Amino acid sequence: MLIFFNLALASYIFRMFAWHRARIRSGAPLSKFARITPEFYLAAIFVMASLYMYILNMPSVKNARVEFRVGMVQTDFAGILNWDAASGMKNLETLRALTLPLKNARVDAVLWSESSTPPMWPIIGTPQIKSWAEELSAEVSAPIIMGNGAYIPPKDGSPAKKHNIAAFVSETSGLSGEFYAKRHLVPFGEYIPSWCEGLVKTIVPIGSLTRGDSAVCFDVKIKNKIRKISPVICYEDVFPNLVRDAVLTGAEYIFVCTNDSWYGREGGAWQHAAHSALQAVSFRRPVLRASVNGLSGVFDQYGRMTPSFTLKNKDGGIFDGTGEAAAVLDVFDGFMQPLDSETGKRKLGSPLCGENGSIYARCSGYADVVSYLNFEGKTTFYAKHGDVFARACYYVSIAALLLVFARKFISPRISKPENSRAACVVKE
């Protein structure tokens, strides 16, 4: 719609320019109907309809309902470091130290990022890591939903498989048997395209992961209720068709686990997170997001971030896994909106932040997952029909190009006189 409006506005400006130029050259008054630009008026109707729908669905505190509280952990470890055994052990220690204090924050579930444990020790395929995660989940008294890895050993002559996965550990029953394998792998990072395998293998080492083939919906028991949570991994939230598959499998919540440490400390993490906001709006599903060090937070069904609270240490600084975390105090106003315990003001929507409000930090914290009654049990038009509008635009564009081609190249040839000499005589 934005593209169409911009093109329609350009068409309107061009037509006005052409009308005034023709009026000046001719010196005679021209019909005002020549200035009519139908596509501009249609675009204006689209904009007004969008504003009407926006006003119609304005968020209301009366419709809001806090479903549960999630804790989020950012280890701030560069991905490449996890392939070193000493750094991998340090990562596990930090992950544990940041996770345990979330119990005092009264979280109902914990979110870990993509490759939360070192990739060389995948949770499926490394019994020690599996036991370690299960014990930690029981200790914090909450399920842990995570990004991790899976190693499936060779069987019946088939080769071994390695997956980039999302999985969850129950505090009572341990690691779930189901997992989601990333479907949209990163070329030259997670796999080598078949057309250049021989060339690339002689230059740099690249992962050889196996892609997944379908969406998966986890049945996670949170606050004595089964919550249907469907994961997407890293930049898969850029592809709405993948999220649509998840919603059609029955997902009530979308979980995005990502490793944004590759972006450094610039704007990439913010740009990436914007897609999570778009998915939340497109499907009216809350999006739960956990990153290694980029943007971790919760998006509601309007695409807005809910307030996130970062754990502090007893000195008032950001708790980074060292020392002891301070007690967590929940403060609300008369409308049950969370307040900042330091300023006493209503807490605005925000991701986890470290010192100076930076999202690039080693920290852990929590946010409440909010749903709205006006979206309960509803499926959006996009979830039902997919890219039908984009396909319609595609076919209209093709038809318009064929029409232009026919008018420019075919029509003149049809109307050309057969006797060119006669045509010259008539011209003279």
The model's pLDDT over 90-146, given as tens digits with 9 standing for 90+, comes to 999 999 999 999 999 999 999 999 989 888 899 999 999 999 999 999 999 999 999
Res 84 pLDDT > 90: no
For the domain 62-383, what is the CATH code?
Answer: 3.60.110.10
- Residues 329-340: pLDDT tens digits? 888 777 677 877
Confidence at residue 418, expressed as pLDDT on a 0 to 100 scale? 55
Which residues have CB under 8 Å from 155's CB, separation 6+? none
For the segment 270-293, the average pLDDT, to the nearest whole number, is: 94
Q: What is the per-residue pLDDT across 247-274, written as a single tens digit (0 to 9) for each?
A: 999 999 999 999 887 777 888 889 999 9
Query: What does the alpha-carbon distance between residue 352 and residue 117 come to, in Å, rounded to a whole number?
Result: 20
Least confident segment among 19-33, 120-134, 175-189: 19-33
- Asked if residue 199 has pLDDT above 70, the reply is no
Spatial distance between the Cα atoms of 39 and 48, rounded to a whole number of angstroms? 14
In degrees and rounded to multiples of 5, residue 175 shows phi and psi of -65, 130
Q: What is the pTM of this model?
A: 0.83
Q: Greater confidence, 35 or 314?
A: 314
| Confidence bin at 422 (pLDDT 50/70/90) | very low
| Cβ 108 vs Cβ 70: under 8 Å | yes
For residue 311, give every residue at least 6 positions away whose Cβ sits within 8 Å of its Cβ, in sequence order, or none.
101, 102, 105, 318, 319, 325, 326, 328, 363, 364, 365, 366
Percent of the chain with pLDDT over 70: 92
Residue with tokens 């040839």: 413
Q: What is the pLDDT of residue 426?
A: 46
Q: Is the pLDDT of residue 10 over 60?
A: yes
Mean pLDDT, residues 199-203 taken together:
55
Residue 275 pLDDT > 90, yes or no?
Answer: yes
Q: Which has the minimum average pLDDT: 68-77, 102-111, 230-239, 405-414? A: 405-414
In the sheet with 297-299, reading across from the earlier edge strand, the strands are 218-222, 225-233, 253-258, 287-291, 297-299
